[in-house]
Amino acid sequence: MRSHNTGSSGFDVAKVQEALARLQQRIEDACPASTDPKHVTIVAVTKGFGPAAPRAAIAAGLRELGENYYQEAATKYAEIARLPDVSLHFIGRVQRNKARRIAELFDVVQTVDDAGVAHALDQAAAALQKTLLVLVQVNVAQDQRQGVLPDDLPAFVDGLGGMRNLAVRGLMAMGPTKMRDAPQAFARARACFEQLRRAHQHIDTLSMGMSDDLESAVAAGSTMVRVGSALFGARPARM
């Protein structure tokens, strides 16, 4: 586990395990008294890191991995995609012309906010004879352009109900660029999540919170955090 295709130092599994323990403590400290920290899923985001990162994450005990770009994931996850106990999450913008490839490689798509993209993913999943888990991205931060607006969310989710090869499991939200606005934004996401959960019994996932803002997200009720640098360190500069 010592090689790293970016040319920077490789990943020591023990160090990733130590970082994971610190991350778990942060989650535990941020959890409301009514929430079991073990119910907050950690998605290890390997964007920008080489193949050593997902291998180190798996060796450290993590089983949920996330990537933003299909092309980067295609080679990095080639072997990992065959592991039966690992789930791969796509957390970037979905391009329709890559829908089939995304549906083939990934188990979960967290960024569905467009009916046309959803239809393309559904068709791709049908051709692959698989059910693709999806999260609807909700726009609760006024400085974000992506995501379904809260007022439009119920109708959007209802519209996905007819797509037989997509299983909507919940919501994904991005935090605002200004950290001081994070608690309010995440509280809005939690309210949207509770509204949907009352209408759809299968809704069980609220993905929000990253390395810098996970405390606010977990305090607001996040059930899933997407973490990269807090596990692997600073990302190498893109060439």
Long-range contacts of 16-21 (CB under 8 A, 24+ apart): 16/56, 16/57, 16/59, 16/60, 16/231, 16/232, 17/60, 17/61, 19/230, 19/231, 19/232, 19/233, 20/60, 20/61, 20/62, 20/231
pLDDT at 145: 79
Q: Which 3 state secondary structure label does DSSP give 224?
A: strand
pLDDT at 80: 85
pLDDT at 68: 96
Cα distances (Å, whole numbers) of residue 227 to 54, 74, 124, 214: 12, 20, 28, 9
Q: Are residues 182 and 175 in contact, defined by beta-carbon separation less than 8 angstroms? A: yes
Low-confidence ranges of the chain (pLDDT < 70): 1-10, 237-239
Model pTM score: 0.93
pLDDT at 4: 34
CATH number belonging to domain 13-232: 3.20.20.10
The pLDDT tens digits of the residues spanning 117-133 come to 999 999 999 999 999 99
pLDDT at 144: 76
The pLDDT tens digits of the residues spanning 57-98 come to 999 999 999 999 999 999 899 888 778 899 999 999 999 999
pLDDT at 78: 85
pLDDT at 238: 64
